[in-house]
Amino acid sequence: MTNSFVKLHIDGAVGTLIFFTPEHNALPTAILTDLEQQILRADANTDLKVLVIKSGGDRTFCAGASFKELIAIENEAQGKRFFMGFAKVILAMRASRLLTVVRVQGKSVGGGVGLAAAADYCLASQYSSIKLSEISIGIGPFVIGPAVTRKIGVSAFSQMTINAQEFYSAEWAKEKGLYAEVLNSAEELDEAVAKLANELATYNPEALAECKKMFWSGTKGWKKLLEDRATTSGKLVLSEFTRNKLKSYA
Amino acid sequence: MTNSFVKLHIDGAVGTLIFFTPEHNALPTAILTDLEQQILRADANTDLKVLVIKSGGDRTFCAGASFKELIAIENEAQGKRFFMGFAKVILAMRASRLLTVVRVQGKSVGGGVGLAAAADYCLASQYSSIKLSEISIGIGPFVIGPAVTRKIGVSAFSQMTINAQEFYSAEWAKEKGLYAEVLNSAEELDEAVAKLANELATYNPEALAECKKMFWSGTKGWKKLLEDRATTSGKLVLSEFTRNKLKSYA
Amino acid sequence: MTNSFVKLHIDGAVGTLIFFTPEHNALPTAILTDLEQQILRADANTDLKVLVIKSGGDRTFCAGASFKELIAIENEAQGKRFFMGFAKVILAMRASRLLTVVRVQGKSVGGGVGLAAAADYCLASQYSSIKLSEISIGIGPFVIGPAVTRKIGVSAFSQMTINAQEFYSAEWAKEKGLYAEVLNSAEELDEAVAKLANELATYNPEALAECKKMFWSGTKGWKKLLEDRATTSGKLVLSEFTRNKLKSYA
């Protein structure tokens, strides 16, 4: 894990948060905790008006939960703690006064789709297909469910969850509302992200903060809800079914 | 009605429920009651992990309410009782721990659209256009409204309800979220249904049941809501407008 | 403002409400008040079954808030009062027993998008692109937010709000659910509006009223919500950022 990192870069009113792990940006607890902390730090920085979130590398945006950590979970408390890592990142993005712009350069799986869905505005490359494979390993997209459903609706979320072996295309994700824009290349993606972030950086910060509140109205219950969901995932991950599946991938 | 039937077929962890009536699979109370009972029976069968629901014949999936029974309604209590037949089927699909996979081979009207919408995953052939014609006979899609709105949203539901003479194509229904997949032929449809059902049958039943709960969270009020809606339909069906319309079709 | 008007025309069971201002149908308080009053008047007219709403001219459907009035706002009370004009029109459309059919012949901006979104059924020409530019002048689409979100969902609404310089096409608006139909020309648009209105005029008014109630169920809190939103807009419009922006356009 020595190469993994989370970095917050500040340029005028635009903060850029980058995360990376050598396992296709799969997320262990340490990185999830860092992500949450840096989102809180950006929120507290009154110079900032907008937060761009992206991952390192030019292929997978985020492979979801770290399989190494999933395998190491030994009891329900540990299980819940692990899944709370995703919950806390989503809740921090939701609670921030900053509009979040997520840049997706490639595939996302499970929790990675949750990060994209927690964005206020998500731009992706044409290679950014998405998969919710949780049910095929005996768990489910419980913690990220509210964020994904909020963006793509219960029909598309049910479909992805049930058809767990399928990668859905970036174009499909755009039709359903996960991505606001799909760009042809990483270069075009970077240009579009920079253009939007720089534009938002010129706006009235009070108006931006009120828009943020409006976008997330009706999600007050999420703190409790995501915690309950983490409990559910934390139990299911201990099932024999899941243990066997995880071992077969290890 | 002698040829009408509801049958539950069990094959390993996959239950398959088939209904048929000689009137384009239009549904009288007796068949609705049987459907509800068989859904409950499947739910109680601990061997099962998934429930496929389909109708007989190779054309219409379901023509909705039985016109013969609609015409015979003489008072509000009878009216409510009839519409509660649809409510009970939808509520049984919702409350079941089993994921439901609905196979739609052709057109649906009114209550038939409600059955498709109550599915967790609905696959259809390209011929499976849909119509909500209720308002043109002086009633409305009240009982099925919550299920249809949950799947396609209030915009598309309002549109179909108001533009009551129009069949909307299977492709439109897929874009709006009613169908997860649209297949070219009955053969491809059968293959896709079997593939999905067999895959779901290999999964962890606890995880499937938790996903089911998640998909339907926020619908706790439906028992009371659908009963209120059945009351509304039961009243309107007695209006002179509706009596005259029904007679003109008889 | 001498040429501005709001007229209610009655033809059998079809009411047609027309508004016009010489500033691309941008709406000052006087016209918003008239609109609300005429919607209430139509609702009280028991001959009517359906209300068509359209604007004058063959280009812009509605440019949103009157900039002249925005500039003249001097305190929070005046600000709130102005934005309540939009709130009251939306609430009147929502509360009416009449199904509303909105005819959109061209572009809409800000509050104009809100009017289209408050329709039960909205038909538009292919030139009817839409923009929510509020955030670029330091406010936000707060009062119209609930109506627009109800029709196009929180993803598309967030996208438009954030990407405030962009006109989204009529085709996009249809995909997202704002428009039920997009027609090629003003002539086709008029034909389609007349066909639908005349059809609705033949239906059972009790059934229409129950459908209307169903479409808007879950919006009981809007009176308070839109008032809170008008307060927010009324404050932000006084910010230095907004004052400077408005002056630069004047």
Chain A residues inside the 8 Å CB shell of B93 = none
pLDDT per residue over A179-205, tens digit each?
Answer: 999 999 999 999 999 999 999 999 999
- Tell me: ipTM over 0.90: yes
- Rg over alpha carbons for chain A, rounded to the nearest Å, is 17
Residue A94 pLDDT class (50, 70, 90 cuts): very high
Mean pLDDT, to the nearest integer, of A114-137? 98
Residue A74: pLDDT above 70?
yes
Residue B247 pLDDT class (50, 70, 90 cuts): confident
Alpha helices in chain B (DSSP H): 29-44, 67-72, 76-95, 111-117, 145-162, 170-176, 186-200, 205-215, 222-236, 240-249
Chain B residues inside the 8 Å CB shell of A239 = 204, 206-207
pLDDT per residue over B59-86, tens digit each?
Answer: 999 999 999 999 999 999 999 999 999 9
User: In residues, how long is chain C?
Assistant: 250
Task: List the structure tokens of B14.
Answer: 């996959």
The residue to which tokens 């016009």 are assigned: C20
Gap from B164 CA to chain A (nearest CA, Å): 23
- What pTM, to 2 d.p., does this model score? 0.98
* Distance from the Cα of residue B12 to its chain's centroid: 25
Give residue C2's pLDDT.
61
CA distance B172 to B161: 15
> Which stretches of chain C drop beneath a pLDDT of 70?
1-2, 250
CATH of B5-188, one of 2.60.40.290, 3.90.226.10, 3.65.10.10, 3.50.50.60: 3.90.226.10
Give residue A248's pLDDT.
87
CA distance C204 to C190: 24
Domain boundaries, chain A: 5-188
For residues A117 and A156, the answer to whether their CB atoms sit within 8 Å is no
* Distance from the Cα of residue C29 to its chain's centroid: 14
3-state SS assignment for residue B174: helix
Give whole-number Cα distances, C221 to A128, C190, C217, C224, in Å: 39, 35, 10, 6
**B-contacting residues in A 97-136 (Cβ below 8 Å):** 134-136
CA distance B250 to C10: 35
Contact with chain C for residue B188, Cβ under 8 A: no
Closest Cβ opposite residue B206 in set A142, A153, A239 = A239
**Are C241 and A203 an interchain contact pair (Cβ–Cβ within 8 Å)?**
yes
Q: Which amino acid is at A157?
A: F
pLDDT per residue over A8-48, tens digit each?
Answer: 999 999 999 999 999 999 999 999 999 999 999 999 999 99
For residues A6 and A35, the answer to whether their CB atoms sit within 8 Å is yes
Give residue B1's pLDDT.
46
For residues B179 and B122, the answer to whether their CB atoms sit within 8 Å is yes
Mean pLDDT, to the nearest integer, of B45-66? 97
End-to-end CA distance of chain B: 17
Strand B5-11 and strand B14-20: the pairing is antiparallel
Closest Cβ opposite residue A140 in set B120, B151, B211 = B211
Residue C233: which of C84, C119, C117, C88 has the closest Cα?
C84
CA distance A234 to B206: 13
**Are B199 and A165 an interchain contact pair (Cβ–Cβ within 8 Å)?**
yes
Give residue C247's pLDDT.
87
Contact with chain C for residue B244, Cβ under 8 A: no
**Are B138 and C214 an interchain contact pair (Cβ–Cβ within 8 Å)?**
no
Chain B residue at shortest CA distance from C213: B142
**Are B236 and C196 an interchain contact pair (Cβ–Cβ within 8 Å)?**
no
Mean pLDDT, to the nearest integer, of B25-40? 98
